[in-house]
Structure 1
Amino acid sequence: MKKNTVDIITLGCSKNLVDSEKLMKQLEANGYKVTHDSENPQGEIAVINTCGFIGDAKEESINMILEFCQAKEEGRLKKLYVMGCLSERYLKELQMEIPQVDKFYGKFNWNELLADLGKAYHSEFAIERHLTTPKHYAYLKISEGCDRKCSYCAIPIITGRHVSRPMEEILDEVRLLVSEGVKEFQVIAQELTYYGVDLYKKQMLPELIDQMAKIPGVEWIRLHYAYPAHFPTELFRVMRENPNVCKYMDIALQHISDNMLQKMRRHVSKDETYALIEQFRKEVPGIHLRTTLMVGHPGETEQDFEELKEFVRKARFDRMGAFAYSEEEGTYSAQHYEDNIPQDVKQQRLDELMEIQQEISADLSHAKIGKEMKVIIDRMEGEYYIGRTEFDSPEVDPEVLIKAEGNSLRIGSFYQVKVYDADDFDLYASLV
């Protein structure tokens, strides 16, 4: 057990990761040595940052907590703290069920942990953090919470109302990160398009991205988690006019049939969705769209599912994820609908949808053979350098593999490559 060492374990999304990175910076400012997601945690203190989004994520968080409780019982750990979405949502229950945890914090009061350790919160480091990503990219969280009331989603229950960060503060953070060597920014929020509505009384995402793009040293900006209703179309111009704004949009559409969009309370219609996709592709030539879809929401008929399959075939998304509905207590769905679609039907629909997409992904990948592209190198693995194009976000999207033999490439640098082969997901390229 290493004295004055804290192990931080982050579960769930990149928004959680940013919180962990901020906590790490504060702990280091107070003289602790901090590890993140260590294979072999040995610190005397552990902090688990939990996810509470869907069933599987909750289970993973609980199992991780229990694993560390056991380490504590065996004397391999002195103190165990838990923070994040799961403990925000089930604080009372967790305190009763797992008394071995020294203290549970929610999603927003984690800095109280410092006081409980007898340490101070250093406000001069408010926008600083200890990056856990490779040095050349960072996640940039521009807001918290969500005002959308989608039927199936527990996020607003966990995180509360939408709260935007002031634009100047975000831009200061970008400048700071650039000075530390960050070239690529993954802009994240529960819902990007709502940015600024609370602070400035209008959607300010286009303005923010425009300002960010003008900061010297910002090479790539990529946008994550937009909402289709009332999309701020001024963003198209910003993407077109700024070469460092990646032609990439992660926009969760969830479904296409009007019946389901209504039941899911998405405030958008089938026709509007098709029109938005068309507009994206017309206004930002070459854009790559990533989406997430859901199957098995209460009330989804065979007819609805057929429409969804047709949508996937027609829209030909560059990137697509899908998941099966899982009932979350407290949500509109849980209160008003019966979760009446059998698990095996949900799974079958999910498999069918992903199979259609896999073919599309393979087609789109193979269409890139012979093309020249700019890539950033993330790491070396086995006999390959692994890079990404502007159309690929870390950890979720395809990668570009470049043979290491005969090349000496720098991690975090950009190179022009030519694609010579592709499989269903990844591209193989050589230096130009």
Structure 2
Amino acid sequence: MRKINVITLGCSKNTVDSEHLMARLEAAGYEVVFDSDRTDAKVVVINTCGFIGDAKQESVDMILRAAAAKKAGKIERLFVIGCLSERYADELRAELPEVDDFFGARDWTGIARALGAPEGEELATERHLTTPRHYAYLKISEGCNWRCGYCAIPLIRGPHVSVPMEQLLEEARKLAAGGVKELMVIAQDTTYYGIDLYGRRRLAELLRELCRIEGLEWIRLHYAYPTGFPEEVIEVMASEPKICKYLDIPFQHISDRQLTAMKRHHTKAEAYELIRRLRTRIPDIALRTTLLVGYPGETEEDFEELLQFVRDIRFERLGVFAYSEEEGTYSALELRDDVPDEVKQQRVEHIMTLQREISLENNLRRVGRTGRVIIDSRQGDYYVGRSQYDSPEVDQEILIPAAGGRMLRGHFYPVRIVSAAEYDLYGERAEA
């Protein structure tokens, strides 16, 4: 049987794309592996990221490694797909003749055709999971219409396109039948779901339908754009027990000057009001956000407003990035990158120092509480699990001594939190 190695870089949306492609390759008779260190596959496909500088460099480095392997005769065919290829295919072709072909993030029929895999819709809901068997991502739409000033995603992925609800529900049912218990709903903006197909936002309806699927126990919502956040989504999160009390909502900034410059389409007051509504209706919700510092024109006053926002809201999960120009975006074309790199890095570190203090205080409040935990793995003397307040791969973990009894991966257990660190919790198995 032919063996093919699909290497996936970048975000969870890329993961889903690769999993769909791998199902098509298996239908064509390939044996599929997904480990960048495998050397026994003679065909390699690299699904790249082209979003920010570090991710682009990681993709380039991986392509160079594979190209060298091909030149040395270790692999026979090499294909590059995804976001980096969408943005820079011409440049990459000129520099890397070892690559057999490049296909963009919107050209899945091209790579399928090149490898002799089915191109039609009959396999649209099939996946070859690369995550642990008990959780998976469900990508409900492609692209984005917001065109924030710093973001290249609309240039790479195009405008917002929703996946029909019937197709998503069929895909989710197949995932549940295969053992998936936790489903992460993802898109560039999940709250915009349905507006292109149905003339209105239908995320709340989709979430309710997903809750009806037997076998799914946790449903988690990621990448919710704050502008125009649907009130009915707050209602369904408050009322459906299967939906985790967790929301990934990237605010990026809070200063009205910066929000306007970033083209974020909401104000500081509206952001605070949305958070008030979320925490009023869902008192135990864990909020994850992403912030961007050093955007053109960010003053010390703007940054102080952002620090105060972090102090006020006390996000349970927070990431922060320093601005870097992305060619073709509004900020790269129209604004001057006028914040020095060392100032950007100082601001990143200042926010993360503050967030470490907040995270520890939040975690200490959980000591003594007992909650439902799903087990992801065993590492040495500990089982590694998560509560509904933590998403896999990006959030903190709960470490439970293995000496307390056997626990099975993908199963739920009551766990009592006994101690806390800045980004981890320690627990012990409790009585059911």
TM-score range relative to shorter protein: over 0.9
Structure 1 residue 214, shift from structure 2 partner: 1.7
Aligned to 2:46, what secondary structure does the other structure show?
Answer: strand
Give the match for residue 299 of structure 2: 301
Trace 1:238-387 onto structure 2 (pairs within 5 A): 238-387=236-385
Q: 1:225 aligns with which of 215, 219, 223?
A: 223
- Structural mapping, 1:29-108, within 5 Å: 29-108=27-106
Q: Tell me how far apart the structure 1 counterparts of residues 128 and 117 of structure 2 sit (CA, whole Å).
A: 18
- Deviation at 1:26? 1.1
CA shift digits 1:290-322 (9 cap, x unpaired): 000000000000000011011101110000000
Code of the residue aligned with 1:407 in structure 2: it is G
Structure 2: stretches of 5+ with no match in the other structure:
none
- Distance in 2 of aligned mates of 1:55 and 1:342: 17
What whole-Å deviation, never above 9, does each CA across 1:29-64 have from its counterpart, x for those lacking one? 111111113433321011000000001111111111
Contact 1:188–1:223 (CA under 8 A) maintained in structure 2: yes
| C-alpha displacement of 1:122 | 6.1
Among residues 399, 417, 420, which one is paired with 1:419 in the alignment?
Answer: 417
Indicate the residue corresponding to 2:179 in structure 1.
Answer: 181
Q: Give runs of aligned pairs for residues 113-128 of structure 1, distance below 5 A.
A: 113-121=111-119, 123-128=121-126
Aligned pair partner of 2:406 in 390, 404, 408: 408
2:4, 2:224 → 1: CA distance? 35
2:19 maps to 1:21: yes
Partner of 2:141: 143
CA apart distance, 1:343: 0.6
The DSSP-based 3-state class of the residue aligned with 2:321 is strand
- Partner AA of 1:393 in structure 2: S
Q: Percent identity?
A: 55
- Contact 1:29–1:122 (Cα < 8 Å) also in 2: no
Contact residue 386 and residue 399 of structure 1 kept, 8 A: yes
Q: Deviations over 1:325-358 (max 9, x none)?
A: 0100000001110011111110001000111001
Describe the SS at the equivalent of 2:247.
strand
> What's the TM-score once normalised by structure 2's chain length?
0.98
1:210 aligns with 2:232: no
**AA at the equivalent of 2:104:** G
Q: Is this contact kept in 1: 2:404–2:428, CA < 8 A?
A: no
Q: Is this contact kept in 2: 1:23–1:111, CA < 8 A?
A: no
Q: Is the 8 A contact 2:39 2:74 kept in 1?
A: no
- Please list the CA deviations of residues 229-287 of structure 1 after superposition, one character each: whole Å capped at 9, or x if unmatched: 11101111101111000010000000000000000000110111111111110011100
DSSP-derived class of the 1:226 partner: coil
Tell me if the contact between 1:385 and 1:403 (Cα under 8 Å) persists in the aligned partners. Answer: yes
Q: Deviations over 1:366-416 (max 9, x none)?
A: 111000010001111111111100010001000011111241111100000
Distance in 1 (CA, whole Å) between partners of 2:192 and 2:409 is: 35
- Report the count of equivalent residues: 430
**C-alpha separation in 1, matches of 2:315 and 2:210:** 27
C-alpha change, 1:41 and 1:391, in structure 2 (3 Å) is farther
Q: Which whole-Å deviations, capped at 9, do the CAs of 1:81-123 have from their partners, x for residues lacking one?
A: 0000010111111111211110000112233223223444364
1:290 and 1:109 mapped to 2: Cα distance?
A: 32
> Aligned partners of 1:417 and 1:44: how far apart in 2?
46
Q: Is the 8 A contact 1:26 1:122 kept in 2?
A: no
Could you list the per-position Cα deviations for residues 182-206 of structure 1 after superposition, in whole angstroms to 9, with x for gaps in the alignment? 1110000000111011011111111
Kept in 1: contact 2:135–2:182 (CA 8 A): yes
2:260 match: secondary structure: helix
Q: In structure 1, what is the Cα distance between the partners aligned to 2:342 and 2:92?
A: 31
Partner of 2:164: 166
Matched position secondary structure for 2:219: strand
Secondary structure at 1:221's aligned position in 2?
strand
Structure 2 CA distance for partners of 1:82 and 1:389, relative to 1, 3 Å:
same
CA contact (8 A) 1:221 1:246 kept: yes
CA distance in 1, matches of 2:8, 2:358: 33
8 Å contact from structure 2 (residues 296, 339) kept in 1: yes
Secondary structure of the residue that 1:140 maps to in structure 2?
Answer: strand
* Structure 1 residues 123 and 228: alpha-carbon distance in aligned structure 2, compared to 1, 3 A threshold: closer
**Contact (CA 8 Å) 1:143, 1:164: kept in 2 or not?**
yes
The equivalent of 2:6 in structure 1 is 8
SS at match of 1:90: helix
Of the three residues 195, 198, 201, the one matched with 1:200 is: 198
Please say if residues 27 and 117 of structure 2, whose CA atoms lie closer than 8 Å, have aligned partners that are also in contact: no
User: Is the CA contact 2:27–2:118 (under 8 Å) kept in the aligned structure 1?
Assistant: no
User: Match of 2:223, SS?
Assistant: strand
Cα distance in 1 between the residues matched to 2:131 and 2:368: 31
SS at match of 1:150: coil
Secondary structure (helix, strand or coil) at the match of 2:44 reads strand
**Could you tell me how far apart the structure 1 residues matched to 2:147 and 2:115 are?**
38
